[in-house]
Amino acid sequence: MLTIALSKGRLANKAIELLENAGYDCTAAKDESRKLILEDEKAGLRFIMAKPADVPTYVEYGAADIGFVGKDTLLEEGRDLYEVVDLKYGKCRLCVAGPVSLKDGRLDLIPNKRIGTKYPNITRAYFEGVKKESVEIIKLNGSIELAPLIGLADCIVDIVESGRTLKENGLDVIETVADISARVVVNRVSMKMKSDEIRPMIEKIKEQVALE
Amino acid sequence: MIDAKFYTADGFTDTLPGICAFKKKTEGDLRELFRLYGYKEIETPGIEYLDIYSRPGFVKEENLYKMTDQKGRLLTLRYDGTIPAARYAAGVKEFDSFDPKLAPLRLCYIENMYRFAESGGGKQSEFTQAGVELMGSADFDADVEVIEIAIRSALSAGIRDLQISIGQVRLFEGIANEAGLDEKNRNIIREAISRRDTVTIEKTCDMLGLSDDMKQLLLMLPDASGTFDVIEDLKGRVSDPQSARALDNLKHILTALEEDGFIKYVSVDAGLTGGSVDYYTGVIFKGFTYGVGFPIISGGRYDNTVAVFGKEMECVGFSLSLTLVLTALMRQGVSMEEKPVDAIIGFELGQRGKAYAEAERLRSEGLSVILATDGMSKADIEAYAKSNGVGRAVYFG
């Protein structure tokens, strides 16, 4: 029996589709109820529906053998696990964004800037490690774009897909921190103890990704 | 502020009766196992100077429990068994005039370790490790001995499904030399291999313009697992002498493990790198079982560590996390309920002497006996025995 942790929402549906195309029976996972654990004994699969940020935790502790999760969450959580497949979907960028007036290097002129973000660890690693700057980080949980508009922060670090929300609020991408897509992660012990089940699954997933 | 006196501190927990008895029994078995191999147990202090750990690559400093002594010097709680053993071994005066290879030190320990694991996590900050250090030998026979003790220690603790992965850190370093990787890219690829992250390996190879053969070789490392077949396969692909020696070393170790009957527990994992501790210099191994998401065994060769404390001494060692083993066993359905007491003896006023004599008689036979207090009546005694599963209730009236 393999336990698979899915990020609730769009990413979960995409993961289920991918597994079905790879030849796994995912009828259980498509249960529209509010159950959090969906099990199919015959198929040998058990799905758990978790908050995206918790997927790496479930997998690291071995509560789930495999997880489908965005690279942004992996970077932020910094968990000790195997990152085996780039699914190439859910593509977006993790960016520094702010008022248009800060573009073309003018952001760098602000010393000790305040940055609003859902991703404090990535933000710190980027500004301290890559840009060699001290920054003040303000952890927010949603509508990050508000922070520079209302004067809470100079800029933000957030996921950008189309950039529409930014544009409509007079903000723009200033720098790209990382390219993001969905990944398959595997617990280190499961990879050894259940390799007969996990390795073929990884191979089939890779084949599907190559087809798409 | 919570009223903290009622609670255990964050990251710490009680070991309850039953589990505790099982743990202490297991510790005794491990102690005996180590003794049978000629290892001498030591206790190192629970508190050390922070300095012994503050070398690059030993540990992440933020994971140490730090405090100061009365003179303001920085101290840390014991983080592992290896570094204190290295500090101790470097100070053994005999080795100033005597080649350690002629009589390597065989040390073992069963101690609690302290680490800030992570904020709010379920990882315990205090856990028990049992381990051995074979200090003063560079021979692969020493590697074999330590791996075999590691396997036996897990078996003796009751682990049935055990898998040991063995790698060699020099394998990758040699390949990295061959590819001409600088420090930065070497670290990126080493880390990517240990995370099985082929995307990053591929990207970095392309960026550096490495040859296709080299790219294929680096990409196969995270996936290469097996036994002698993997070693032979890799041998045909590496040309750096360091990598070739690493593969020979693995082959020697595997051959001995096969001869000694341990091969069924073992597989080669070419993607094993040092991970969070990078003092390993040769063979490296991890042990896995069902029920816990973390390796229960971790070990390897560390030839340059004792030199940090002032003496050249090649070493190999391992540790078994007893705490993780207990978790695994419980999840695998092993019962750790403690047996009830064998007998309870009550007595009427004035009959204490007889009751005491009977209690002593039973105790001398190895039975556990409770001598009643607070003037428990015959009915009280019987009720107690019934509700607590005590086999024998005796009353002197």
CATH of the domain at A12: 3.40.190.10
Q: Which residues of B touch A193 (CB under 8 A)?
A: 161, 163, 288-290
Is there a contact between B37 and B150 (Cβ–Cβ < 8 Å)?
Answer: no
Please count the structural domains in chain A.
2
Nearest CA in chain B to A203: B223
Q: Which residues have C-beta within 8 Å of that of residue A191, sequence separation ≥ 6?
A: A82, A198, B196
> Does the structure show a pLDDT above 90 at A40?
no
Of B10, B16, B257, the C-alpha closest to B147 is B257
Q: Which residue has the tokens 């670290």?
A: B187
> Does the structure show a pLDDT above 90 at A190?
yes
Given this model, what pLDDT does residue A42 score? 84
ipTM value of the model? Answer: 0.81
Question: Average pLDDT, stretch B78-105?
Answer: 85
Is A188's CB within 8 Å of B295's CB?
A: yes
Rounded to 5°, angle at Cα A154 from A150 and A158: 90
> Does the structure show a pLDDT above 80 at B81?
yes
| DSSP for residue B390 | -
Q: Shortest CB distance from A83 goes to which of B122, B195, B289?
A: B195
Q: Which residues have C-beta within 8 Å of that of residue A129, sequence separation ≥ 6?
A: none
- Average pLDDT of chain A is 91
Q: How much of chain B is in helix, strand and coil states, percent to nearest 5?
A: 45, 20, 35
| DSSP for residue B316 | E
Domain residues for the domain of A176 are: 92-180
What interhelical angle do B198-208 and B212-220 show, nearest 10?
160
pTM of the model: 0.89
Name beta bridge partners: B165: B267, B286
Q: Are residues A86 and A116 in the same domain?
A: no
Neighbours of B128 (CB within 10 A): 21
Query: What token pair was written down for A172?
Result: 């723009």
What is the distance in angstroms between the Cα of A171 and the nearest Cα belonging to chain B?
A: 31
Q: Are residues A115 and A57 in the same domain?
A: no
pLDDT confidence band for B370 (50 / 70 / 90): very high
What is the distance in angstroms between the Cα of A62 and the nearest Cα belonging to chain B?
A: 4
Q: Which residues of A touch B291 (CB under 8 A)?
A: 62
* DSSP alpha helix (H) spans, chain B: 19-36, 82-90, 140-156, 169-179, 183-194, 198-208, 212-220, 228-235, 241-259, 305-308, 322-331, 352-364, 378-388
What is the distance in angstroms between the Cα of A4 and the nearest Cα belonging to chain B?
A: 14
Rounded to 5°, angle at Cα A49 from A45 and A52: 125
Given this model, what pLDDT does residue B120 score? 41
Q: Are residues A109 and A168 in the same domain?
A: yes
Highest mean pLDDT among B28-37, B228-237, B344-353: B28-37
Q: Shortest CB distance from A193 goes to which of B163, B275, B276?
A: B163
Q: Are residues A51 and A64 in the same domain?
A: yes
Q: Determine which helix (DSSP H) or strand (DSSP E) holds A188, and give its type and residue range.
A: helix A188-193
In a 10 Å sphere around its CB, with 0-12 CB exposed, 13-18 middle and 19+ buried, how is residue A155 labelled?
buried
Q: Are residues A103 and A127 in the same domain?
A: yes
3-state SS, residue A119 = coil
Domain ranges of chain B: 9-143+289-335, 163-267, 343-396
The reply to whether CATH 3.30.930.10 applies to domain B9-143+289-335 is yes
Give the whole-angstrom CA distance, residue B142 versus residue B350: 65
Nearest CA in chain B to A88: B199
Nearest CA in chain B to A86: B199
Q: Shortest CB distance from B199 goes to which of A81, A86, A190?
A: A86
Look up the CATH architecture of domain B343-396. 3-Layer(aba) Sandwich (3.40)
**Partner A contacted by B293 (CB < 8 A):** yes
Nearest CA in chain A to B268: A192
| Minimum mean pLDDT range among A18-32, A165-179, B79-93, B237-251 | A18-32
What interhelical angle do B212-220 and B169-179 show, nearest 10?
160
Q: Are residues A189 and A84 in the same domain?
A: yes
Question: Average pLDDT, stretch A136-140?
Answer: 96
